[in-house]
């Protein structure tokens, strides 16, 4: 039986496989050099000299070229492609609706998490949104040197996390201030790109400190041709600046495959904001004034005028005319660009030809024009000396192309989060309403996935829940957040210290560790509960999440030293699974290794006296009992699962393992059978 490898895919090996298939003539055999020492074993490699000959003038060696580089870029590329021997462990007690939810919350280093998601979610994510640290000289960023031991690491980067989390403060005194940040984000974007669907999109929030290098990094990773826009979010004036009040930030936006999106004629539209308020005012005026449209128009104009600046409905104040069909504005009735048809149109009162627009009428069909007039869709002046207009009704023009520049007061999100959590427990949370707009206008369908691997306060998860409620959809989220500690002593400003104290007080009341991840998870719980309390009709809305934690491999270290001694002798000598790992831990390790979704339901049952886990109704049946009787093996095989896995140490000897293979070959030959 094949053994589960318990290691994430190697980007280098996958690229080699693609090249070998594309140019097999460049594949050669060479002596392997494990650990830098050559031996007599042969391995396959790419002959780069031959590959360069095939590419001819497309190869660059040493000459100048337009490119973006920095200290650490090569290391970041290697790190992105390096496999890891880690796993995702389920944490049921911290989850919400574990058995039914299809949302995931992953706690741990996001580069590790992205690698562990590679097999299960390759090409399955519709939208990625991230809000990485902004590198202002006072932000924490990830350190990606896996080769250092703890003492070396602490000495090298002055680590502050007692739990050994790979983070450090990237101050502007650091000579590699920008390089460190670029290295951190480069590897993570490289890995995350593989998760996007062909019509997928990534949004990245950033400020002016790193927007330029980030744009060049994204052009390289996603391709300049896949660049969509640089959105500008004006979040409100700041009065603490000496020269210019920088009141905006950026959201870079890239497609995974813009050509595919164009071929499928995908367009983005969003419902204009403020419409519901206008419709509510119109209904109230209609109830009050009946068919007195003139008075209703006067009142509607006054209502627009009294709205505060920045109110979304004020953007549509030109829709201030009313008739029996509703609210409208007098739109241009002329041919776009000029050169349109010209013919007589009679005024309904004077019965004389009205003035023809200089660009001609909007339609060449006189019957169409007359039908519009008969339906009272054309607004005439008091006589024939003015050009008529075409009534454009608000209800017919509710959608618009999203603007690249938009305003949303950045303080509003902080106030809403503080209200939800009972106090201000997070500084500068992203606005869930803005993220909801992004989710809605790109057109995410039921069952599709939104990923945020810098989850922070979990604004993205909150936005998904709100979008599902508004659009009656079932979009899933995957959040990833490091268990970054909250410590008042490490805060520099009094404001930050107060926020930290509030967060610690809240977490103490919940008996939870003092980490950002715990604040994040609690925000999702409360947001979901608030939505269900306010909308009891949405009782089927998925507001839960499965918590998974990045951890070391389920297998003991000896499992990975098969090149030093024979694996058979190791297995005979010692059980290869760590003592603290449960059957559920092992199941999720198998899901990661096999590339199965991590959010599907499973059943626990007993077959022939041993416990069995049946994942997704036969997609995978796992039995990790210390000893598995033949009756259990037969019962599992008779169900003909797509996959089956056992613990290697469950079988007494090689004949017992061979017997299992024979049973499956007879009863369920199509089952993929493995052991760990």
pLDDT in tens, 210-243: 899 999 999 999 999 999 999 998 876 665 666 7
* Interval 432-443: pLDDT, tens: 999 999 999 999
Q: Which SS3 state, helix, strand or coil, does residue 663 take?
A: helix
> φ, ψ for residue 491 (rounded to 5)?
-85, 140
Distance CA 125, CA 143 (A): 26
pLDDT at site 406: 84
Question: What is the DSSP track for 53-69?
Answer: HHHGGG---SS------
> φ, ψ for residue 640 (rounded to 5)?
50, 60
Distance CA 218, CA 220 (A): 5
Average pLDDT over residues 135-139: 61
Global pTM reads: 0.84
The residue among 635, 553, 617, 618 whose CA lies nearest residue 588 is 553
Average pLDDT over residues 30-38: 59
> φ, ψ for residue 253 (rounded to 5)?
-135, 125
Return the CA Rg of the chain.
Answer: 31
What distances in angstroms separate CA 348 from CA 365, 384, 423, 550, one per listed residue? Answer: 19, 9, 64, 75
Structure tokens at 499: 């926020």
Question: What is the DSSP track for 512-577?
Answer: --SBHHHHHHHHHHHHHHHHHHH-GGGTT----BEEEEEEE-SB-GGGG-TTTS-HHHHHHHS--B
190 neighbors 77 (Cβ within 8 angstroms): yes
What is the rounded average pLDDT for all residues in the chain? 88
Give the DSSP H or E segment for 486. none
The residue among 547, 509, 491, 481 whose CA lies nearest residue 422 is 509
Question: What is the DSSP track for 283-346?
Answer: HHHHHHHTT-HHHHHHHHHHHHHHSPTT-GGGGGTT--EEETTEEEEEE--BPTTS-------B
Q: Which SS3 state, helix, strand or coil, does residue 623 take?
A: strand
Structure tokens at 412: 């509003």
**413: which DSSP letter?**
H
Question: Has residue 190 got a pLDDT over 90?
Answer: yes
446 neighbors 520 (Cβ within 8 angstroms): no
Structure tokens at 654: 């090689």
275-289 vs 293-306: helix axis angle to the nearest 10?
A: 140
644 neighbors 621 (Cβ within 8 angstroms): yes
Give the DSSP H or E segment for 118. none
Distance CA 521, CA 527 (A): 10
Chain CA centroid to CA 665, Å = 41
Distance CA 354, CA 381 (A): 9
User: What is the band of 23 on the pLDDT scale with cuts at 50, 70, 90?
Assistant: confident
pLDDT at site 57: 65
User: What is the band of 36 on the pLDDT scale with cuts at 50, 70, 90?
Assistant: low
Of 91-100, 271-280, 401-410, 662-671, minimum mean pLDDT range: 401-410
What is the side-by-side strand order in the sheet with 546-552? 86-90, 546-552, 104-107, 476-481, 449-452, 125-130, 196-206, 248-255, 227-234, 405-407
43 neighbors 30 (Cβ within 8 angstroms): yes
Q: What sign has the CA pseudo-torsion 253, 254, 259, 263?
A: negative
Structure tokens at 452: 């945020």
pLDDT at site 565: 52
**488: which DSSP letter?**
G
What is the side-by-side strand order in the sheet with 610-615? 2-3, 672-675, 643-646, 620-623, 610-615, 602-607
User: What is the band of 147 on the pLDDT scale with cuts at 50, 70, 90?
Assistant: very low
Average pLDDT over residues 587-616: 96
* Lookup result for tokens 């000896």: 558
> φ, ψ for residue 569 (rounded to 5)?
-70, -35
Length of the chain: 676
Q: What sign has the CA pseudo-torsion 99, 102, 107, 112?
A: positive
Q: What sign has the CA pseudo-torsion 403, 409, 410, 413?
A: negative
pLDDT at site 651: 85
454 neighbors 481 (Cβ within 8 angstroms): yes
CB atoms within 10 A of CB 28: 12
Structure tokens at 89: 């462990």
Report the number of secondary-structure helices (H) and strands (E) in the chain: 20, 26
Q: Please, which residues have CB within 8 angstroms of residue 430's CB and are 6 or more apart in sequence?
A: 131, 205, 413, 456, 457, 459, 460
The residue among 565, 574, 568 whose CA lies nearest residue 654 is 568
Question: Has residue 185 got a pLDDT over 60?
Answer: yes
Question: Has residue 74 got a pLDDT over 70?
Answer: yes
Question: Has residue 148 got a pLDDT over 50?
Answer: no
Domains of the chain: 8-63 (no CATH), 118-269+403-486 (3.40.50.150), 272-324 (no CATH), 325-390 (no CATH), 554-675 (no CATH)
541 neighbors 533 (Cβ within 8 angstroms): no
* Interval 627-649: pLDDT, tens: 999 999 999 999 999 999 999 88
The residue among 486, 484, 480 whose CA lies nearest residue 506 is 486
Question: Has residue 558 got a pLDDT over 70?
Answer: no
Q: Please, which residues have CB within 8 angstroms of residue 123's CB and are 6 or more apart in sequence?
A: 194, 195, 196, 197, 198
Distance CA 468, CA 179 (A): 39
- pLDDT top residue among 104 and 577: 104
What distances in angstroms separate CA 5 from CA 221, 442, 554, one per listed residue? Answer: 29, 38, 11
* Interval 505-536: pLDDT, tens: 999 999 999 999 999 999 999 999 999 999 99
Strands 643-646 vs 399-400: parallel, antiparallel or unpaired: unpaired
Residue 416's Cβ-count burial label (10 Å; 0-12, 13-18, 19+) is middle
Question: Has residue 291 got a pLDDT over 90?
Answer: yes
Question: Has residue 163 got a pLDDT over 60?
Answer: no
């Amino acid at each position: 039986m094949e053994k589960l490898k318990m290691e994430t895919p190697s980007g280098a090996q996958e690229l080699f496989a693609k090249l070998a298939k594309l140019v097999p003539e460049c594949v050669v055999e060479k002596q392997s050099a494990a650990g830098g020492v050559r031996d007599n074993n042969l391995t396959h490699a790419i002959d780069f000299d031959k590959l360069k000959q095939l590419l001819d003038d497309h190869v660059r060696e040493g000459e100048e070229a337009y490119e973006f580089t920095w200290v650490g870029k090569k290391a970041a590329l290697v790190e992105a492609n390096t496999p890891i021997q880690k796993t995702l462990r389920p944490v049921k007690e911290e989850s919400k609706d574990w058995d039914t939810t299809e949302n995931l919350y992953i706690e741990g280093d996001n580069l590790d998490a992205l690698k562990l998601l590679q097999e299960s979610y390759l090409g399955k994510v519709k939208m990625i949104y991230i809000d990485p640290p902004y590198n202002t000289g006072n932000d924490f960023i990830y350190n990606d040197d896996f080769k250092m031991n703890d003492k070396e690491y602490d000495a090298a980067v002055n680590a502050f996390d007692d739990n050994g989390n790979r983070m450090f403060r990237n101050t502007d005194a650091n000579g590699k201030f920008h390089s460190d940040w670029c290295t951190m984000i480069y590897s993570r974007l490289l890995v995350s790109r593989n998760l996007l669907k062909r019509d997928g999109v990534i949004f990245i929030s950033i400020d002016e400190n790193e927007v330029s290098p980030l744009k060049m990094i994204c052009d390289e990773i996603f391709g300049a041709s896949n660049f969509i826009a640089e959105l500008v979010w004006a979040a409100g004036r700041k009065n603490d600046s000496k020269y210019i009040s920088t009141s905006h930030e950026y959201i870079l936006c890239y497609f995974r495959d813009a050509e595919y999106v164009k071929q499928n004629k995908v367009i983005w539209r969003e419902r204009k904001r403020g419409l519901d308020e206008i419709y509510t005012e119109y209904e109230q005026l209609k109830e009050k004034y009946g068919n007195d449209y003139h008075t209703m128009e006067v009142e509607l104009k006054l209502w627009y005028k009294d709205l505060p600046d920045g109110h979304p409905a004020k953007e549509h104040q030109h829709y201030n005319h009313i008739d029996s069909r509703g609210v409208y504005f007098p739109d241009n009735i002329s041919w776009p660009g000029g050169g349109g048809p010209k013919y007589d149109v009679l005024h309904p009162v004077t019965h004389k030809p009205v003035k023809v627009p200089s660009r001609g009428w909007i339609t060449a069909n006189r019957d169409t024009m007359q039908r519009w007039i008969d339906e009272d869709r054309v607004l005439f002046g008091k006589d024939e000396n003015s050009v008529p207009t075409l009534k454009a009704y608000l209800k017919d023009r509710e959608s618009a192309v999203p603007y690249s520049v938009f305003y949303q007061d950045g303080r509003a999100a902080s106030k809403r989060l503080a209200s939800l959590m009972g106090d201000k427990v997070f500084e500068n949370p992203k606005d869930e309403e803005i993220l909801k707009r992004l989710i809605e206008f790109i057109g995410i369908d039921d069952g599709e996935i939104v990923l945020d691997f810098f989850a922070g306060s979990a604004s993205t998860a909150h936005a998904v829940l709100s979008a599902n409620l508004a659009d009656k959809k079932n979009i899933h989220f995957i959040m990833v957040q490091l268990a970054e500690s909250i410590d008042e002593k490490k805060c520099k400003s009094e404001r930050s210290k107060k926020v930290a104290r509030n967060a610690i007080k809240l977490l103490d009341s919940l008996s939870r560790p003092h980490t950002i991840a715990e604040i994040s998870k609690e925000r999702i719980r409360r947001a979901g509960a608030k939505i269900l309390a306010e909308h009891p009709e949405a009782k089927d809305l998925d507001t839960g999440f499965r918590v998974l934690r990045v951890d070391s491999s389920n297998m003991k270290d000896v499992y990975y030293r098969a090149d030093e001694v024979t694996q058979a002798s190791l297995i005979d000598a010692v059980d290869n699974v760590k003592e603290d790992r449960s059957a559920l831990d092992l199941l999720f390790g198998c899901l990661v290794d096999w590339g199965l979704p991590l959010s599907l339901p499973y059943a626990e049952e007993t077959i022939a006296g041993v416990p069995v886990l049946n994942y997704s109704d036969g997609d995978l049946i796992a039995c990790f009992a210390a000893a598995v009787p033949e009756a259990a093996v037969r019962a599992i095989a008779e169900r003909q699962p797509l996959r089956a896995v056992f613990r290697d140490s469950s079988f007494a000897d090689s004949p017992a393992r061979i017997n299992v293979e024979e049973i499956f070959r007879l009863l369920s030959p199509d089952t993929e059978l493995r052991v760990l």
